[in-house]
Amino acid sequence: MWHRALIVPVVLWSLGGSDAQAQAVDLSRLQIVEGQAGVSKETGFIHIAGEIHNRSSEWVMRPRLTVELLDASGNPIRVDSILAGAAVDAGWEPHEFTHTQRTYIPPGEVGVFYYIRDGKQLRGARYASHRLSVASARKAVNPPQVVIEELQMPMEDDVYGVSGRIRNRGQVGCYSPQVIIGVYGTDGKVLREEHETPEETFQKVLEGGQSVPFKLKVYPDTGLGGTIGSLKAWADCEEPY
């Protein structure tokens, strides 16, 4: 049995004093590459996908992006959502945000993000465009070293069956290991992401030298009707709480 990891978008870090300085990241070295974006004609939901490229020499932890939804005149749209409320609770201005699904991003690699919002939650305005910016990230000190082995991605009836093993090649334990799939269109742009955590290691630690099998399916529905061109897969771990 496999555990479909729940997306918990509200992940807030409070860093202060010397701790914030010690873990500060040069946000200019985190580059946003936007993917597919728009409004679903079927559901009215707004979809915004993309990547953050880690151009720094440091491992970084799950960057947070500010998402500004704009109307046809370029004015910000107020959104009634849990995210906006969480931002206020954290002492920020009310705004939408999202994170890369990948917690630990090595130098030179990418983290995929995928933002979805119900158009009914917009306050009397229609979404026309958006503005994204990297709001925060932390340096990953002594991150776990996990890789995917025996990766298989056969396609049958337009459905990809993705399977393999997550192996911890390091000494640091990997908490609640997961596989993250970036779904890309024929133009090379991100369409969405998928992720899966094996049931046997959900909220448990995969120790160094150990491995666990994973399996998931990736369906052709992309939210906005794009055609899948390729998949990319990464092994990752959740941050222990």
Same domain, 130 and 162: no
pLDDT digit of tens for each residue in the chain (241 aa)? 343 333 333 333 333 333 344 477 999 999 999 999 999 998 999 999 999 999 999 999 999 999 999 999 999 988 876 666 565 566 656 578 999 999 999 999 999 999 999 988 887 789 999 999 999 999 999 999 999 999 999 999 999 999 999 999 999 999 999 999 999 999 999 999 999 999 999 999 999 999 999 999 999 987 788 899 999 999 999 998 7
Same domain, 130 and 216: no
Same domain, 125 and 207: no
Same domain, 167 and 78: no
- Give the bridge partners for 100, in sequence order: 113
Same domain, 129 and 159: no
| Total length of the chain | 241
State CA 160 to chain mean position distance: 20
In a domain, residue 71? The reply is yes
Q: How many folded domains does the chain comprise? A: 2
Q: Which domain holds residue 6?
A: 2-139
In a domain, residue 241? The reply is no
The answer to whether 135 and 86 have CB atoms below 8 angstroms apart is no
- Give the bridge partners for 159, in sequence order: 156
- The helix or strand, by DSSP H or E, that contains position 152, with its residue range, turns out to be strand 146-152
Q: Is 81 exposed, middle or buried (0-12, 13-18, 19+ CB in 10 A)?
A: middle
Same domain, 165 and 88: no
Backbone φ, ψ for residue 99 (5° rounding): -125, 160
The alpha helices in the chain, defined as continuous H runs, are 17-22, 82-89
Same domain, 130 and 115: yes
Q: Report the pLDDT value the prediction gives residue 2, as an integer from 0 to 100.
A: 42
